[in-house]
Amino acid sequence: MRLHLLSSDIPGPERFTYPFCYEPHPLCILAAEEVKREIERIQPTEGKMFGVMVVEAPNSKFGTSKEFLAAYSGLLEGRNDWDYFVPPVFDAQQPDGYFKQKEREISLASHHAPLTSKKMSQDLQLWLFRQYRMLNAYGEVKDLVDIWQDYHCSPRIRNKYPLPPGGTGDCCAPKLLQYAYQHHLKPLCMAEFWWGSSPKSEIRQHGQFYPACRGKCKPILTWMLQGLDIDPNPEEGGFPHLHPEIVYEDEILAVVNKPAGMLSVPGRTEDHSVATWAQQRWLGAMLVHRLDMWTSGLLLVAKNTGVYHHLQRQFEERIIKKKYLAVVEGVPAREHGIIDLPLLCDPINRPRQVVDYEHGKRAITEYRVLRTFDSGSKSITFHSSLFTLLALWPHTGRTHQLRMHCAHPDGLGCPIVGDELYGHKSDRLYLQAQAIAFTHPFTSKWMHFELPVEDGFSSLVTSV
């Protein structure tokens, strides 16, 4: 078995990890450090997601000591047979196996019969997914096609995506759970981390822990975790009912200051938001634009439909001007510039965005360095010793535009402090929508509002 000793007196958790939103258990952090030593021995040439699972084994050769399993996503250096790591759920890489033989046939057919080749590829993909027979904690078995179609019960989604994306079933979490179930091991906790350089399109930070992907793994893990006692989803636990501050108000509109940690509009499991707060205060009120939950700052509220459409047109015609403040890790190469990187939603890992020069929507951000500073002895855990306070002016309004433009190596290469998706976790996301300017829909007067630097920003910048 691929079990590894974990020498620790740390007690295991009461429940297994909820894999899509979690804090790594201390046992997983220790296991990950062991795996990193093995990775350094292998010295992989490309970035890769790795996973660890701490388990209990009956009649363990290590007695009562904790043990762990390790996995990598996809192939590691073109191989899937590394002794240290659990094997794939199904090995399609055997040179003389059915899959590789059919691949060679399809490659030959593609030159003289492209339509036949396409049909053969689809049939082979369907055959491959049927070989992935996934277990759950009850000992039940279901293949990937049935798992996918049972999870996506909407006919619209099933018609558009009749089969899982390529590579489904080869991520760390399904491999680890499958191996544990096959060998009668009790899963205690699990975590995944990225090792190496980031891919070209998306952003992954070396050594950072990440949740399981939702596009490929959510349907599989929903099945495989059945029968385990799992941590509740932290995103469904409710949030404090914060309230925005009214900065300006007249008969037709309002400008409000949203606190970090408050939704702009209702979420999947949480109704309280700036939008619902505004509707309760002003009948018929509508939010003109949005901010990410953990971004603080100014939002426009229209009190009737006509004003809403007027302000929407101003956004479309780029009349409305917005300014943000951000604290980023590191120091940009230039003090002032324009970032022009096209963005596209990652369909298998929402809400993450990727840079896509072929299909992405153009996104433009202007930035200026306001101040650089050292982290000093600040108690917050940082991943850099130098930081920069930036002013950011978005010329377009794409999802996660500022976060991606700051973090991506083709942008600034300096993630915003506290950005869990594209950088590193901290006590908060240091991004504030500080100023907004627009033409008043009734008076045509140019309106400008600007907040002071938020207390959290001020204390960070002035105390380090």
Known catalytic residues?
292
- Report CA-CA distances (Å) from 111 to 95, 100, 122, 123, 246: 22, 18, 17, 18, 66
Record the tokens describing residue 379, joined without a space.
């108690």
Report the sign of the C-alpha dihedral through residues 402, 405, 407, 412, in that order.
negative
Q: Are 77 and 216 in contact (CB under 8 A)?
A: no
Name the nearest CA neighbour of 201 among 76, 326, 349, 77. Answer: 349
Q: Are 397 and 325 in contact (CB under 8 A)?
A: no
Instruction: Find the radius of gyration of the CA atoms of the chain.
Output: 25
Query: What count of other Cβ atoms lies within 10 Å of the Cβ of residue 428?
Result: 17
| Type of residue found at 459 | S
Strand partners, 52: 70, 191
Query: Which residue has tokens 């990193």?
Result: 36
Query: What count of other Cβ atoms lies within 10 Å of the Cβ of residue 232?
Result: 10
Name the nearest CA neighbour of 105 among 91, 119, 88, 93. Answer: 119
Q: Are 282 and 288 in contact (CB under 8 A)?
A: no
